[in-house]
Amino acid sequence: MFDNCKSLKVINLGKLDFSLCKNFKSMFNECRYLENIDVSHFNTKNSTTFENMFCGCRKLKNIDVSKFNSSKCITINSIFRYCENLSEINMINWDMSRLKNKRGGFLFLSRISGINYLFDGCKSLKNIKMSSNFSKDLIEDKDKNIFTGLPKSGTFTWKKGINCDSLLKLLPVSWNRVTE
């Protein structure tokens, strides 16, 4: 929709109805100067992908995705990749159980998962609140670069009662780990 609108700084989507939208892929991809956007009212109940949705939004400081319904979502690859100024992400209520691993048709193709490069390049991100109900095989492969480029310290919060040991192993060592 706004993919590659590199000069876009501010946008007001008002109360647009997104309830029938299945694909938010690259909606704001490479909107490098976008500083603020209110997506808190987005109805995402039918969405299957948020891939690259905010990728490359280098000036974006705040984004409220806490109310996104991700129950049908199969990929969130690079959703926040290169969001260099984001300091906090709250995804603690997201349902990530449907994220998929896809295998290429040829033996030489590497496995692609629904969470590759999730926070890659988010160098100001200090606080992540995240559901950890991933399927286990999605997070065992360290080549996903989920947390590549994060600052050396921060706080990772997840829901009490959910085991996310595999995911925590991928975080930088000095990050605090807290259950909510």
Q: Which pLDDT tens digit goes with each residue over 48-105? A: 999 999 999 999 999 999 999 999 998 899 999 999 999 999 998 998 888 766 554 4
Give the pLDDT score at 143: 62
The DSSP line for 21-49 is: --B-TTTTTT-TT--B---TT---TT--B
Phi-psi region of 115 (alpha: psi -120 to 50; beta: other; left: phi over 0): alpha
- Could you tell me the two tokens for 180? 């909510």
The Cα–Cα gap between 118 and 148 comes to 9
The residue type found at 77 is: N
The Cα–Cα gap between 54 and 12 comes to 16
Asked if residue 141 lies in contact with residue 113, where contact means CB atoms within 8 angstroms, the answer is: yes
Q: Output the pTM of the full model.
A: 0.87
The Cα–Cα gap between 12 and 7 comes to 15
Residue 115: which pLDDT band, with cuts at 50, 70 and 90?
confident
3-state secondary structure of 158: strand
The residue type found at 98 is: R
The residue type found at 162 is: I
User: E strands, 56-117, where?
Assistant: 88-91, 101-102, 112-113
CA distances, 157 to each of 84, 164, 168 (Å): 20, 10, 10
Work out the percent of the chain whose per-residue pLDDT is above 70.
Answer: 86
Mean pLDDT throughout 20-34? 95
**More confident call, 103 vs 32:** 32
Structural domains of the chain in order of their starting residue, each with its CATH number: 1-9+16-180 (3.80.10)
Angle, alpha carbons 129-131-134 (nearest 5°):
140
